[in-house]
Amino acid sequence: MALTLSAIEARVIASLVEKSITTPQYYPLSVNALVSACNQKSARDPLMSLSDGDVGSTLIRLEELRVAKREDQLSRVPKWRHRFHHELLIKEPAMAVLVTLMLRGPQTLSELRSNAMGLGGPSEAAAVQAVLADLSDRAQPLVGALSRQSGQSAQRYTQLISPEAASGYTTGPIEAEPTSALSAGGPSLSERMAALEARVAELEAKLGPLLS
């Protein structure tokens, strides 16, 4: 069965997946911790301002979809973990790429490589390209290539699991990028900014439970 999520559902489950990787010591997450993750000012596009009620009701819906699971026995406060990879039958590198697109919106291949590495994504652009091709070549395509707008030199990609979040974009099949785009040397400005954002997000995640 195809899995289709709203923009809020996509943000909640992607944030849950992200924190399971970047801050495993605080995982599974309480609703309060997950609200902070969803509303981060860094590594999020678009920015959201979700309430405890928004996230709590969304988690119940995600549990019905079998992509999230509530665990009460570990703490007096109910905590949640994801089952995203089990339901979609994807491995860590592909999940890292998909979740990065769900959290940060459309990205170029270079940006996606840099942003997804912290979640276990491929370190080489060619490998990211292969993951994108695999995710698009499914009964339910999970990613697509955006139609290139005037003035854009690099191809951009988006997730398709949340049509609501991806609305306004025209997508097509994933095609191989020129060799120069896959083998470009040192990190670009966007890659350096992405790495800095990832570091800030990691620090926010570590401080969040201490401040809540």
Give the residue carrying structure tokens 């959201």: 48
Backbone angles phi, psi at 144, to 5 degrees: -150, 160
Q: Which residues, in sequence order, are CB contacts of 152 under 8 Å at separation 6+?
A: none
pLDDT by residue (tens digit) across 66-106? 999 999 876 788 999 999 999 999 999 999 999 999 999 99
Both 189 and 154 in one domain: the answer is yes
**Predicted local distance difference test score (pLDDT) of residue 163:** 84
101 and 191 inside one domain = yes
CATH number of residue 22's parent domain: 1.10.10.10
DSSP class of 184:
-
- Residues 96, 188, single domain; the answer is yes
- pLDDT score for 195: 61
Q: Round to whole Å and give the CA distance between 34 and 111.
A: 25
- Name the nearest CA neighbour of 16 among 40, 1, 33, 3: 33
Number of domains in the chain: 2
- Report, as an integer, the average pLDDT of 51-62: 98
Tokens in use for 69?
């699971």
CA angle 106, 178, 89 (to 5 degrees): 50
Q: Does residue 105 form part of some domain?
A: yes
Taking the CA atoms of residue 12, residue 42, residue 190 and residue 7 in that order, the dihedral angle to the nearest 10 degrees is 30
Same domain, 17 and 77: yes
Both 44 and 118 in one domain: the answer is no
Containing domain of residue 49, as a range? Answer: 7-87+201-211
